[in-house]
Structure 1
């Protein structure tokens, strides 16, 4: 640090070295500890086109620099960025001498970021990983705070799902065709190997892709770009795993033009933060580059990241009150060890070949080919003609009995006298609720012993009543792209690219454990005759371990897209224009002839084709060298995801009705200030996403009357199809960073947004029970779902943070942040907000006793309590000879606050009478289930279910760089 201060004073004194001709700047960048020159450091004159890269001696030089005061930015991965104020004199070359670069001591925080916040709060890849992964490469104060401090509360920037951002490795998009989201686990645990990144926020221009409205993250694995050296680290934490070890070696480019990088890690836990959440992950990375000459290089990258983890269950308030927020219903003891019935297993290695061609001094062409093959499996218990093994099944819990008057008895005291309420009325008790409560408290986990007993003893080891299976996806994905970057003139730069993907995705159900039996029947016991058969081509099949059953089909996809982008840079104004076009083709190919959809499940579906386009543009007005105004505008159409294209792909070829491409528009404007001591950004934004589609599955009651579907079939497992959804996000972002002294920095960050549904979309229901040989597409139109002005779920819509950081000259540092997050809303049920909820099918009129005020009260969207989270981080490093030793430590949620990060309403009680009966109680109850006396307290069996964030957690990492 002392050398850094001396260097800065040296620069500010403006010592000149005179040249015979020219006006410019020169300097040499070295590591402040090792004194070694740093190659590949980026030096740029702010608000100009002038950029230089340091050579093998660490030197850089600029010629023809505009005279006057300038800001010189010098930065590279792993070191603290420097922003130097200089003054250029006409006809002279300013020699900065040696610029000492200090290792960024907070780098350990960045290398640990994805690891810390990667959690299993949901299975749709849309959780906090969208914040942590997308922002790792950014240095903006707002985005850093969103990642490091708000990610634990599932904060989403601008309320956007991560499918609206783009993640690339060497220019190839990593967003899944199936759902549009990146599968972070495909490179999880390889933080050292994926540290070379470029990030653009919002719809700002990227050199690699047209992008979306959430930003782009480009991970570059070219071997020659990594800093030479080796690194070993060991970590301990109490988050989703307990231990991590990681090692990386970078050779650097040798005299024969070879460079290679290898990295590996292991993460594991017998149990993570939540009960029964086992964790095991192994990751390997290799990158090899051969530089043939100054124009051509070839690089091969291989990434293997295997991850198996136990999931945790969302729970109702009833369950949390009885068992606590760490409770997980998915596990139970087997032979004295915890066994989780729901595990997620990811194993999708990536192999990529990249060619780099320097066509001229002004034009570069990068071409990549990638092949990814592997599987994702999600296990769970299947059962036939047996009780539901879920310990939180509604009939196992007290509320079920508290809602049934047949279990009520007049309450009496120990003398046999009636127990009266405050007004002298008889109160009631419910002994069955107390029995359910005690059973749940004492045996509230998966009963593996009972499952094995049923299969092996009751069923004599023959047909299993219970089995363990996994929903499995085996993908084969070819990707290819080519990206050109060309400086057309001193002021104009062009980026263009084409991308091609071909996916063949097999989706099936695989039996993985018979749990003490000998075989399992490939039938659906809820149906009769042919309708019960999963595959009419192989009826009544006995299934063994490793066999496929239930459903089996391919999803095929072919996508093509291209973009062009032109960036113009001038003295006072920079602006850009971008265009894109894409073509998407989907098809389902059924391998089973399902008994319900005998005429519409086996073989290939019709091709579903979408053609889409996009335009974006923006400008930056430079008020001064330190202040600027920045504006961006974006409009594009986007093909529906493969997931939402087929309404029930597991058992039929039906395409989702009323399916359309999304329309996405966004505008934002920012005031930005960059000074040596102070940096700030204030941004206002507005975005709208139109014509979205959502398909979900659940068991619903009261959706169809008996006359329409036959007695006993009014309750159904259905697919809910909501189309034409419009969503609106608007708000403000503020990020401030000020260096009080050379060692103390303070930050202030705020986000205020309003994220709402912006219309009343249409809702249809597909009910398999209504399918027949004459009706292979049993769709019922439920009309409008009245969602307008309800808040979008999944993220706090207000967030504020104040941070303080101290960096000591003796290479230790500590920081703290206080964060306040509010306005997080539950995910509402769409079908409860249709006319089906309020209109009696028999009379065509509103249900008796129903008023607008009553409906509004019942369907009011739940807003979670605001939370305050305090986090501490710090680290220390030592230099011993040429090696660096150090540690990084963090404590999140210091005060161990319990808070909800998300949740969803259940849709089972789909009519007003059923919903009201499940959510009201009129009897004065002396309640033995919770030990309280209450009148009119609700005891819903189908209450909302919630996800919770971590309480107090820690992360400690020890490392050595050599």
Structure 2
């Protein structure tokens, strides 16, 4: 690599020379309210190589070789940018005097509101996985619209999930190995200490990581960068929590080289926007930095943000019509209080030590060590030899008596007369018992005590038929990371980094409440004999509260990655080249000897190893001081995530057949125009994903063929999609225009087309097929005809128009109207295979399975477009060197009811059952939907000392 650099230097010597006739632009940057100097403000001349950070007294001085007209940009996190047109005469210095930066409270508070939405969309229900856009507000009108105006409808930038982006804290990667996504709850509620962020879009060069095709997000918690002072925040909202308070104090860097930051907060709700959704979140942060010398500094950051939230159920239209858009089947009253059965809890403290080494004035080395431990759990009700406790279970609804399921389970194709009387009784019964009957569950777990007259006098604990458990993950992660950057000369800069991470992830089922019973038997009621035993080494075990049961295993993973990046900066063109290497290994370690897989469940599995490479590059063409064009392209391979590598990890060491790394290709082209009055960006992009692997689990009826020797046509199965290709392409356009010094208008457009690009292979794992001599339970179902179906879970088109008034006396009002379209329900792949058309009883194709009818049955549902009107506003006051800020927002002002997404239920696994169910006009297994928020508000009051 050194030889390469020497060749570049020798081949282009003239490019590295500076003119001796320098001209100077100087000034001082201050806070608009306090008039105090602002250090570390980035001052640049747009589309040039000239950049400088303001010193501790807020001053800057740029030496430039050429006279002419430039656009000077002053940028600092938490402040509004200043963009000035300056004219420099040859041989004369230009003194700009004082530049006052105004605090950008709108962006600051919007950064808080997106966090409210993020946890809601990261639900674990259904087959559709939705995550928020990256939590970074930039000065780009498109980025603000994507995060703050479209986020409530689950908009995803470029249709990509957050696993395609890299999230870092102090240079350390925070994406989970399990699914590739960050666990936002690990730093939820710490808004004050996570606001220092740098964000790159797409495959643009990042100083901290090679990144993903969606971008990178670097959060910095170094104690010395926080402005000295105390900030107290109090908020009220009606989204997924009701109240929030945060107190943060930063000492600033003292004369002895010490700096510290302390932040603590709490968020809570007895009930959020949806019925029964409780919330309890606490957050604590401690940051301490010691500046040892001018070259060395040590920083410690500690996060602990335990939080729990009650989940909200997806519902069919039948349930929504009977109840309301806020209905949630996951809760019920117990002793007069709401109790949610499905609660997600995150308790994963993070401890991080960073060493900053300034080798010289143009070379830096940052070394970090992170340790993370704790748990993530999702609770639910388990039951044996008893009816489902879910009040919206299909047998409890009127549709059960209005479809063939109420008569003959859909196996016959003859005429069917709906049972209207029982359907009406079912409707009334459901409406009077629409929530979980906790008292009934307790009664089912207890034995009545009778007196001599046969009257019940008391209840005693007996074997539990219902219990509350949690799917528990206890992770221990240690990561070592190093970042190096050096300015090789005036035109060339190099970034490099390496990271090693080791994870031990303990996954098990934990009994947390016997619900009044004495014990719970550890067996699988769907199997008999030894096959019903989760652990043959401890058969017929009576499980008590706090004990593991059902499944118990470890994931063991190691990851090493490294990248290098070279940035070349010249007068009219900049370009960069980057490359990466990643080595990944996965292994499952079973702790139970499962009765179904007695020879392939206990102990360690085969070790999976992947080696992957990435290459990317880009160019910036500086057309003028106001205009530029950028081009970026990338090719990379990525190991399948841990979740998709083991199709039945809870009870088996089996791995996905022919598992491959995912291949990603990306390019984008952007045009920028930026002046003091008008800023606009137009981007065209294309992202191709190939060889992706996805897994899911569901109960399917009529899925297997008796003629092939299988003992049952119904089964709880695992489904794996392999060799799945996706295509994401579209345009992004943003425009911000200052009508006057107080009025500004914004416009943003996202027009995308996100498709499945091929017909992936489908394999089904059925535990019932396993034998002692042949543990292979994977059945190849061939290809699923998914090509040209739409990717689900987000709008593919979004539009926003906004108008903002900002008064010179520090108050403002803004409004925006948003229109979102192209939202589709997630389809069931198994219903697009050839097996779907085969009668499991005879092995022949259903005679009624015509192409015309199949087209109707398998048409992907498109959700109705939605228009959302939002208002925001606020004011700030300067009171004797103290600051009081008020911010409010009202989203979905018109209280529009809309669905944010949904999925097809896969239970009807053959043509006849799906056809008969839908033909009844009251299907038992219709699509399920997630609901969006109606009218919501957010009020924030902060006081800075």
Indicate whether the TM-score tops 0.5. Answer: yes
Contact 1:105-1:811 at 8 Å conserved across structures: no
Contact 2:401-2:418 at 8 Å conserved across structures: no
* Alignment partners' CA distance in 1, 2:406 and 2:95: 91
* Alignment partners' CA distance in 2, 1:504 and 1:640: 18
Q: Secondary structure at the match of 1:649?
A: coil
Give CA deviations for 1:306-331 in whole Å, capped at 9, x if unaligned: 11110010011110110111100000
Give CA deviations for 1:897-939 in whole Å, capped at 9, x if unaligned: 0111110101111111111111113xxxxxxxxxxxxxxxx11
2:387 maps to what in 1?
387
Q: How far is 1:704 from its partner?
A: 1.1
Q: Secondary structure at the match of 1:592?
A: coil
Q: Secondary structure at the match of 1:457?
A: strand
1:265 maps to what in 2?
265
* Alignment partners' CA distance in 2, 1:661 and 1:92: 59
2:3 maps to what in 1?
none
Give CA deviations for 1:823-864 in whole Å, capped at 9, x if unaligned: 100000000000011133566543112211110111000000
Contact 2:399-2:924 at 8 Å conserved across structures: yes
* Alignment partners' CA distance in 2, 1:919 and 1:62: 71
Q: How far is 1:33 from its partner?
A: 1.5
Note closer, same or farther for the CA distance 1:489–1:464 as it changes in structure 2 (3 Å cut): same
* Alignment partners' CA distance in 1, 2:775 and 2:419: 50
Note closer, same or farther for the CA distance 1:306–1:397 as it changes in structure 2 (3 Å cut): same
Matches within 5 A, 1:112-127: 112-124=112-124
2:943 maps to what in 1?
960
* Alignment partners' CA distance in 1, 2:838 and 2:405: 26
Q: Does 1:130 align with 2:132?
A: yes
Q: Secondary structure at the match of 1:106?
A: helix
Q: How far is 1:118 from its partner?
A: 2.4
Q: How far is 1:113 from its partner?
A: 2.9
Matches within 5 A, 1:109-188: 109-124=109-124, 129-131=131-133, 134-188=134-188
* Alignment partners' CA distance in 2, 1:575 and 1:124: 41
* Alignment partners' CA distance in 2, 1:508 and 1:32: 55
Matches within 5 A, 1:160-239: 160-239=160-239
1:814 maps to what in 2?
813
Give CA deviations for 1:591-617 in whole Å, capped at 9, x if unaligned: 000000000000001110000000000
1:862 maps to what in 2?
861
* Alignment partners' CA distance in 1, 2:338 and 2:848: 49
Q: Secondary structure at the match of 2:105?
A: coil
1:948 maps to what in 2?
931
Note closer, same or farther for the CA distance 1:109–1:51 as it changes in structure 2 (3 Å cut): same
Q: How far is 1:303 from its partner?
A: 0.5
Q: How far is 1:710 from its partner?
A: 5.0
Give CA deviations for 1:850-899 in whole Å, capped at 9, x if unaligned: 21111011100000000000000000011111001121000000000011
* Alignment partners' CA distance in 2, 1:473 and 1:365: 35
Contact 1:117-1:129 at 8 Å conserved across structures: no
Give CA deviations for 1:314-360 in whole Å, capped at 9, x if unaligned: 01111011011110000000000110000000000000000000011
Contact 1:821-1:866 at 8 Å conserved across structures: yes
Matches within 5 A, 1:47-126: 47-124=47-124
Aligned residues: 908
Q: Secondary structure at the match of 1:265?
A: strand
1:324 maps to what in 2?
324
Contact 2:736-2:745 at 8 Å conserved across structures: yes
Matches within 5 A, 1:911-922: 911-921=910-920
TM-score scaled by structure 1? 0.93
Contact 1:121-1:947 at 8 Å conserved across structures: no
Q: How far is 1:114 from its partner?
A: 3.1
1:783 maps to what in 2?
782
2:10 maps to what in 1?
none
TM-score scaled by structure 2? 0.94
* Alignment partners' CA distance in 2, 1:167 and 1:145: 21
Q: Does 1:655 align with 2:631?
A: no
Contact 2:530-2:595 at 8 Å conserved across structures: yes
Matches within 5 A, 1:731-742: 731-742=730-741
* Alignment partners' CA distance in 2, 1:168 and 1:514: 41
Q: How far is 1:88 from its partner?
A: 1.2
Q: Secondary structure at the match of 2:426?
A: helix
Matches within 5 A, 1:268-667: 268-404=268-404, 430-457=420-447, 460-667=460-667
1:837 maps to what in 2?
836
* Alignment partners' CA distance in 1, 2:749 and 2:914: 39
Note closer, same or farther for the CA distance 1:110–1:228 as it changes in structure 2 (3 Å cut): farther
Note closer, same or farther for the CA distance 1:475–1:892 as it changes in structure 2 (3 Å cut): same
Q: How far is 1:658 from its partner?
A: 2.1
Q: How far is 1:65 from its partner?
A: 4.3
Q: How far is 1:279 from its partner?
A: 0.3
Q: How far is 1:381 from its partner?
A: 0.4
Contact 1:108-1:888 at 8 Å conserved across structures: no
1:418 maps to what in 2?
none
Contact 2:122-2:132 at 8 Å conserved across structures: no
Note closer, same or farther for the CA distance 1:88–1:784 as it changes in structure 2 (3 Å cut): same
Q: How far is 1:123 from its partner?
A: 2.7
* Alignment partners' CA distance in 2, 1:756 and 1:650: 32
Contact 1:105-1:813 at 8 Å conserved across structures: no
* Alignment partners' CA distance in 2, 1:771 and 1:613: 38
Contact 2:400-2:406 at 8 Å conserved across structures: no
* Alignment partners' CA distance in 1, 2:138 and 2:733: 15
Contact 1:113-1:136 at 8 Å conserved across structures: no
* Alignment partners' CA distance in 2, 1:280 and 1:870: 29
* Alignment partners' CA distance in 1, 2:798 and 2:557: 39
Q: Report the RMSD for the aligned CA atoms in angstroms.
A: 1.7
1:753 maps to what in 2?
752
2:44 maps to what in 1?
44
Q: How far is 1:705 from its partner?
A: 2.3
* Alignment partners' CA distance in 2, 1:668 and 1:615: 15
Q: Does 1:691 align with 2:705?
A: no
Q: Secondary structure at the match of 1:452?
A: helix
Q: Secondary structure at the match of 1:315?
A: coil
1:8 maps to what in 2?
none
* Alignment partners' CA distance in 1, 2:610 and 2:887: 49
Q: How far is 1:160 from its partner?
A: 0.5
* Alignment partners' CA distance in 2, 1:452 and 1:632: 61
Contact 1:223-1:260 at 8 Å conserved across structures: yes
